[in-house]
Structure 1
Amino acid sequence: MTGGPLVVFGDSLLDVDVEGAAERLCPDAPAPVVDVRAEHPRPGGAGLAALLAARDGAEVVLVSALAGDEQGRRLAGMLAGRVELIPLPLGGGTVCKTRVRAGGQTLVRLDSGDGRARRVGRPGGGPVRDDLLRERIAAVLAAAGAVLVSDYGHGVAELYRDLLGEVRAPLVWDPHPRGAAPVPGCSLVTPNEAEAGLLAAAPAADPREAARGLVGGLRAEAVAVTLGERGAVLARRDRDPILIAPPDPGPVRDTCGAGDRFAAAAAVALAHGAGAEEAVREAVAVSGRFVAAGAASAVRPAAAAAGERAPDPVARLRPAGGRLVATGGCFDLLHAGHVSLLRQARALGDALVVCVNSDASIRRLKGPGRPVVAEPDRVEVLSALGCVDAVVVFDEDTPAALIERLRPDVWVKGGDYTGRDLPEAEAVRRAGGEVVILPTLPGRSTTNIIAAARSAG
């Protein structure tokens, strides 16, 4: 980022995916029975937009309202260490959206929580006063490299609309049907087709005409009406609208979070000096890759991933004096070499935890062409192996932080390492464990498999 952080300003939600298998019907109703296998929480709304921008390397400040309930604390924990959080008070309970999924499809969504942002009151009651908080927010907005308003209709944007109207940095406004109207002068407004129709005084059938009308109606510099897998229509002042299609269209199964991904990518691009067209082209490409990789369902915040499945075997072993073994890696295109290593590792103790690089971590380590297999599928395949007791996803470049939390007795790695070569070796020693290097099957590697497949093609 140049010239200051990205400030994400808006409503954060707690999203939870309950993943399972639906293979039979309920005997007393025509409804599927879902055998729950995992629960994956993550930030939603402004929290998701902030987390995604931070994972791209941006410095992010999130201004959002949080409640003091269990869901609010859970949400804050997933954001801690990733973004600088300026919490506002939330009246009511944390808004939580729970999707029950089976076979990669959402069967039902359960919404709970009635929270709405409110102003700060004096301790013990009395007239409402938030002068100090307003001063802090105004200072953060003044120092921003760009501002993204992620409005989900729960009051944050409406509460401080006057301060948002004074922003001089590039301002991206992602609107919501129940939210505040964008302030005049936005650099970019990013409604989807349905939201564009609601924003327009006279909805247009053609998204090009809708975008063109909104530029004038909202007094914005540019409007991008997002069209899902078709890309986005961009309209600017005194220019004809243009369609920006995704460069690599692929199959679409789940689009949850795509709007947040689009708006965050556009805001980061504008902060780096891009024009509206360049920013929207970047956002279309980024959000397309996001959807192809599993969309929001593939997002695993480190704090949540480390607590999803690993505590069970650890809790069982520690009181009984059991020996915990752990190993880590990408496990992209699982092959015989991986299985051999995991079986050998499991034989060294009483339970094996596999620490898996997230999709974002693999892209940083191996480039934009990897992973070949998305994170949910890699976790599912590893979990099905009889020698694996738990799978944990980490988003950092190394599993050092996760090792310090798990404190394994043995950390296993395959290959030609000496132990000292491992970046996580010091973390293992600090946790009181030992590093064991196991031999790998010759010639088996994901890189070789990919190369052979490309040659055969």
Structure 2
Amino acid sequence: MTATGPLVVVGDTLLDQDIEGEAGRLAPDAPAPVVDVHTDRSRPGGAGLTAALAARDGREVVLVTALGRDEAADTVRGALRDRVTLVELPLDGTLPVKTRVLAGRRPLVRIDRGGGSPGAPGDAVRAALAGAGAVLVADYGRHTALAVHAELAASARRVPLVWDPHPKGDTPVAGARLVTPNAAEARALVPGTGTALADDARRGRVLAERWRAATVAVTLGARGALLTRPATATPMLLPAPYPADGDPCGAGDCFAAVAAAALADGALPEEAVERAVAEAAAFVAAGGAGGTALWDPAAGPADPGRPPSDAFALAREVRARGGTVVATGGCFDLLHAGHVGLLESARRIGDCLIVCVNSDASLARRKGPGRPLNPLADRIRVLAALGSVDAVAPFEEDTPEALLEELRPDIWVKGGDYAVEDLPEAETLRRWGGQALVLPYLQGRSTTGLARRAARSATP
């Protein structure tokens, strides 16, 4: 069932600051690095970041949070004004400010300042929660959730409620559809020595029972998330679609925001967590909370379905360090042993393998009616999951020459009984000194043959 009201985010807002620079020397008076600053950025953090992430796709989002009259609170108001509807609780004190100092994009130190206590909710807060289509609690241990605990308990009985907990925060209300601790938080909440997947699953079950939650998703960083339920239900691991190399700051907020939005749209918890894992990976790869995509509308959102590496960026990077770029291409409509053997052999030739794959329209023109059997997005996902494949690049034309002109690989590989001079791509490669090669191909393996055998087996 799709929610009819807005997604209401309740929680503790912070102001996050990133001071970035380069550290190439030590201070003369202490063994401490000197950071030559080139960037100083401020942005909403905590529940403010979560609300902004939930609103990325144009969704109506209401943020219920405590803000004061200090400069940091005014900065948050300005950043969120055109993104979400703010419904404020009074704040006795100043807004917490968390400052990271980074050198070479790696944190050196974090400085925390400020803090206060949220006041009692007014009619506007109660009305926002009463009209919510779904609720997300972003608990950062500052007790905004405690101030509206009764209203949250009522919401959990009426609409999907997601609670992103904190070890020093408040206890989730009974009946939450999904609670999302990370592994470190789950281990702090359920002490024990084990850190294996089975131990995390046990902790998830314990927490689901303790909180009387329908499901608990223990997030595992690059490994994805472990979805658990009370009692003895078998846990489900939702792995990340690819390793995301980037700043993980804000990944948990992104996970919770996407999961809450999916539940609001009627998704099952399994579907919501799978979607959240994929988008959190894309968020990290795009630079995390400090990336420009979230706060610069012109940059656009990260694409959660993209391959783990951009083929063009990868080719430039490998060439820049003197490596060998290998490319191959084809339809890959039904991946079979012949394909796998070719790709593994091709990868061993150089320092990266980029697979050029026909679009659906291109494949249909080449293979005729009834093809493709698998759409492009599925074919890309299967190829990108292979350990031998570093990146995938689709092309719309009948042949990949135009794509190769952009990629400029050092080696182009095809499998089968071709002679190199018969390959249409060979002449293209010669323009920049590249080489076309033919590799052995397993006999008797073909997509057409597989499809025919499958059709015969399906015929009564």
Match of 2:119 in 1: 118
1:126-205 equivalence runs, <5 A: 133=122, 135-167=123-155, 168-200=158-190, 205=195
2:97 matched residue in structure 1: 96
- CA 1:370–1:250: 2 relative to 1, 3 Å: closer
CA distance in 2, matches of 1:257, 1:77: 20
Give the letter aligned to residue 33 of structure 1. Answer: V
> Alignment partner for residue 237 of structure 2, among 234, 238, 243?
243
SS of the residue corresponding to residue 278 of structure 2 reads helix
Residue type of the partner of 1:209? R
Contact 2:47 2:65 (C-alpha < 8 Å) held by counterparts: yes
Q: What is the aligned partner in structure 1 of residue 263 from structure 2?
A: 270
The letter for the 2-side match of 1:264 is A
CA displacement at 1:67 relative to structure 2: 1.2
The aligned counterpart of 1:63 is 64
Matches within 5 A, 1:35-434: 35-119=36-120, 133=122, 135-167=123-155, 168-200=158-190, 205=195, 206-237=199-230, 239-251=233-245, 253-299=246-292, 302=295, 357-360=298-301, 372=310
Residue deviations 1:205-239 (CA, integer Å, cap 9, x gap): 41011111111111000000111111111012462
TM-score (norm 2): 0.64
Change (3 A) 1:372 1:68: farther
| Residue in 1 that maps onto 2:437 | none
Task: Write out the 4+ residue segments of structure 1 that deviate beyond 6 Å after TM superposition.
Answer: 201-204, 446-449
Superposed CA deviations along residues 317-373 of structure 1, whole A, max 9, x for unmatched, are xxxxxxxxxxxxxxxxxxxxxxxxxxxxxxxxxxxxxxx93252x859xx9579959
Deviation at 1:203, TM superposition (A): 7.9
Cα distance in 2 for residues equivalent to 1:22 and 1:98 = 17
Give, in angstroms, the shift of residue 56 of structure 1. Answer: 2.5
* Deviation of the 1:45 alpha carbon: 0.4
Provide the C-alpha distance between the structure 1 equivalents of 2:277 and 2:95, rounded to a whole number of angstroms.
Answer: 31
Give the root-mean-square deviation of aligned CA atoms.
Answer: 2.8
C-alpha separation between the residues in 2 aligned to 1:203 and 1:86? 42
Change (3 A) 1:227 1:301: closer
Shift of 1:102: 1.2
8 Å contact kept, 1:152–1:176:
yes
Q: Does the residue aligned with 1:165 lie in a helix, a strand or coil?
A: helix
Distance 1:148 1:9 in 2: 6
Residues 89/299 of structure 1: CA separation in 2 closer, same or farther (3 Å cut): farther
- Structure-2 separation of matches of 1:29 and 1:264: 43
Counterparts of 1:76 and 1:203, CA distance in 2: 43
1:7, 1:62 within 8 Å by CA — same for their partners in 2? Answer: yes
Structure 2: where are the runs of 5+ without partners? 313-401, 414-460
> What TM-score, normalized by structure 1, do the two folds share?
0.64
Choose 1 or 2 for highest CA Rg: 2
Contact kept? 1:50, 1:83, Cα under 8 Å: yes
* Cα distance between partner residues in 1 of 2:237 and 2:109: 33
Task: Indicate the percent of aligned positions where both proteins have the same amino acid.
Answer: 49
Q: Describe the superposition over 1:112-140 as per-residue Cα deviations: whole angstroms up to 9, x where unpaired.
A: 01222122xxxxxxxxxx5xx1x332322
Distance 2:307 2:184 in 1: 33
Task: Compute the displacement of 1:254 (Å).
Answer: 2.2
Give, in whole Å, the separation in 2 of the partners of 1:47 and 1:17: 16
Unaligned runs of 5+ in 1: 120-129, 306-355, 375-445
Change in Cα spacing, 1:113 to 1:285, as seen in structure 2 (3 Å) is same
Kept in 2: contact 1:42–1:300 (CA 8 A): no
- Which residue identity is paired with 1:173? W
In 2, distance between residues paired with 1:197 and 1:233?
Answer: 14
1:73-102 Cα offsets, whole Å, 9 max, x none, are 011100001000001111111100111111
Change (3 A) 1:299 1:161: farther
CA deviation after TM superposition for structure 1 residue 299, in Å: 4.4
| Compared CA separation, residues 113 and 236, structure 1 to 2 (3 A) | same
Classify 1:216/1:174 alpha carbon distance in 2 versus 1 (closer, same or farther; 3 Å): same
User: Does the 8 Å contact 1:190/1:263 carry over to 2?
Assistant: yes
What residue identity is the alignment partner of 1:34?
V
